[in-house]
Amino acid sequence: MSAFDRIWRARTDRRAFLLGGLALVGAGAFTRVQARPRWNASSPFSLGVASGDPMHDGVVLWTRLAPDPLNGGGMPPEPVEVRWEVADDEKMRQIVKRGRVTATAAWAHAVHVEVDGLKADRPYWYRFHAGEATSPIGRTRTLPKPGDEADRLRFAFASCQHYETGVFTAYRHLAAEDLDVVFHLGDYIYEGPGRDGQVRKHQGLEIMTLPDYRTRYAQYKLDPDLQQAHAAFPWIVTPDDHEVENNYAGDVSEQDDPREAFLARRAAAYQAYYEHMPLRRRSVPMGPAIQLYRRFTYGKLASFFVLDTRQFRSNQPCGDGLKAPCPGVSDPQATMLGAAQERWLFESLAKSKGQWNVLPQQVMVAKVDRGTGADERYSMDQWSGYDAGRTRLLEFFAARKPSNPVVLTGDIHSNWVNDLKVDFRSANAPAVATEFVGTSITSGGDGLDQAATMKDVLAENPFVKFQNSQRGYVSCTVTPKAWQADYQVVDYVTRPDAPKKTRASFRLTDGRPGAERL
Ligand code: FE
Ligand code: CA
C-alpha cells in the first residue's frame, strides 16, 4: 500500500472511529459497565502504571487495560470499571484516597484519574484493580505549594527513545535516582516501519492510523525499564515530531501530504499520545488539536513553562535540512510557537515569581553554525530556521530579565551546554540564558564521546561549552543559589546492562547567566 493510500485509510478509520464513539454514547444507557471483568492468563496491566502533571494538591494517575497489547489491546468493546487507590506508604496499608473510573473502548481502555486533596511536597503510592487483577504499585509525588520556600528540587529530563536502536538501560539508571519529577521532551515513539538488523524491531509498517499508533505505544510501553521509570516518579511530557511524523510543522507534513489527510493522521497520533500519557483533562485532544503548553510551579524555587514547538509552527521558511539561511528565517510571520502560545509564554514569564524560569521544549535554541569559516549552515528544523521568533524570545530575556531563564532541549541525540545570547556572533555579547540540551535514551545507537567533526563546531561556536554524543539523560539539582546539571551517559545501548557514568557536570549561579564546568 502506498503512503498516500495509508493516509486515506487513516482518514476513513478516523471516521469509523468517530461513528463508533457516537454509537457507544448512544448505547450508553443500555451498556452495562463491566464491574467484574474476567481475565484469562494475561494481566490487563501489561503496560504498567504512570503518574504525571503533578500539582501541590494532586496528580494524574494513568494505566491502560490491555491484556493483549500488540493485537489491539485484547479488550471487549464494553466499558470496564477500574478501581484506584492512593496510599501514604509503599505497602499500600494506609489508603488516603480511593475511587472508581470507567475505561472505555473509545479511549483504548486507558484511564486518567485526576486525584486531588493530597498534601503538598510529599510522596504517595498508588495502584489499580480491574476485576480480580491488580496493577503494580507506582510511586508519585506532589509539588510544594506555589508560595512556599522550596529549598531543593531534583529532576531529570530525557528524550528520543527509538525502540529499534537500543535498550532502555538509561531509564533503569534514571529510575534508581532520587527525583521529584521527570520531564520528557519528545520522540517517545518513532513512527517508522519495522526494520531488520536492528537491536529490536518495530511491529508493522509506518504508523498512520489510530490502531497503528496505539500498537506502537503498547510496544514501547512493554519495556520493563521504561515501566520502572514511570512507576518511580511523576512525569511531565511534551511530544516532538516523531509522535506524529518526522519534522512536521503545524499542518505541513514532511512530504507535503494533502493537508486534510495529514490532519487526520495528526488527530490519530495526538489521540494515541493522550491515551498513553499521564495528562490532565485539559489535554484531551479535539480532532487534530491538543493543549500541551502549560505551566508548573515548584514553590518559589522554579516555574516551568512547557512548550509545544510543533503543533502551531508555520512551515519551515527555508525548507528542511542543514543549509545557509534564506531571507525567510527573518520573516516575523515565521513562528515556532504560534501567536497565542508566544503571548502566553511572555505574559507568564513577565508575571513569574520563580527563582528559576525553565522552558522544557523540543528543538535547539542556540544558533549553532555547522559550516566552517565564512560558510554558515544551520539546521532549519530548529529555532535557527525561525530566527525572528528566536530573537523575540532572547530579546525578551535581555529586556524583561525574568529571573534565571534556563531552556531544556531534546531532539538531536547529543548533549550540549550553550550560553544563549541575543547576538551569537559577538564573542563579547553577554549570555541572557542557558540551554541544556540532553541526549537520546537510545536514538542513534551507541554513539560517540565526541565525533571528530565536533572540533570544528566547537571552534566555530564559542558559546557552546560542552558537546557529547553518547546516550543517557540529564539530572539536575536546583537550589535558590545554584543549579547543577549532571550529564549521565551509558557507553552502549546495543547490549544490555551498561553502567552509568556522569560524563560532565555544569553549574549555574543565581543572577549570573551562563554555565560553568565543574
Ligand atoms: Fe529523536
Ligand atoms: Ca526530533
CA distance 293 to 360: 10
Q: Is the pLDDT of residue 451 over 90?
A: no
CA distance 88 to 207: 41
Q: Which one, of 166, 133, 141, 140, lies nearest residue 38 by Cα?
A: 133
Backbone angles phi, psi at 195, to 5 degrees: -120, 140
Ligand approaching nearest to the C-alpha of 160: 1
Distances (CA, A) of 327 to 41, 365, 376, 423: 62, 19, 14, 18
Write the DSSP string, 112-135. EEEE-SPPSS-EEEEEEEETTEEP
Element (H, E) at 467: strand 464-478
Q: Is the pLDDT of residue 327 over 90?
A: yes
Cα of 512 from ligand 2 centre, angstroms: 30
Compute the average pLDDT of residues 414-437: 96
Cα of 246 from ligand 2 centre, angstroms: 7
Residue type, 2: S
pLDDT digits (tens, 9 = 90+) for 247-258: 999 999 999 999
Cα of 457 from ligand 1 centre, angstroms: 21
Element (H, E) at 229: helix 224-232
Q: Is the pLDDT of residue 5 over 60?
A: no
Q: Which CATH code fits 26-141?
A: 2.60.40.380
Helix axes 210-221, 259-276, angle to 10 degrees: 30
Domain residues of the chain, as ranges?
26-141, 153-517
Handedness of CA 244, 159, 481, 53 (dihedral sign): positive
Q: Is the pLDDT of residue 82 over 70?
A: yes
Cα of 278 from ligand 1 centre, angstroms: 21
Q: Which residue has the cell 563579547?
A: 428
Predicted confidence band of residue 216 (pLDDT cuts 50, 70, 90) = very high
Report the 10 Å Cβ neighbour count for 178: 9
CA distance 82 to 130: 5
Cα of 124 from ligand 2 centre, angstroms: 33
Cα of 44 from ligand 1 centre, angstroms: 30
Supply the DSSP symbol for 491.
Answer: S
* Average model confidence (pLDDT) across the chain: 94
| More confident site: 16 or 381 | 381
73 close to 215: Cβ distance less than 8 angstroms:
no
pTM for the model: 0.94
Q: Is the pLDDT of residue 131 over 70?
A: yes
Ligand approaching nearest to the C-alpha of 248: 2
Q: Is the pLDDT of residue 9 over 50?
A: no
Superfamily grouping for domain 153-517? Alkaline phosphatase D (PhoD) (3.60.21.70)
Residue type, 118: L
Cα of 412 from ligand 2 centre, angstroms: 6
Q: Is the pLDDT of residue 24 over 50?
A: no
CA distance 14 to 407: 36
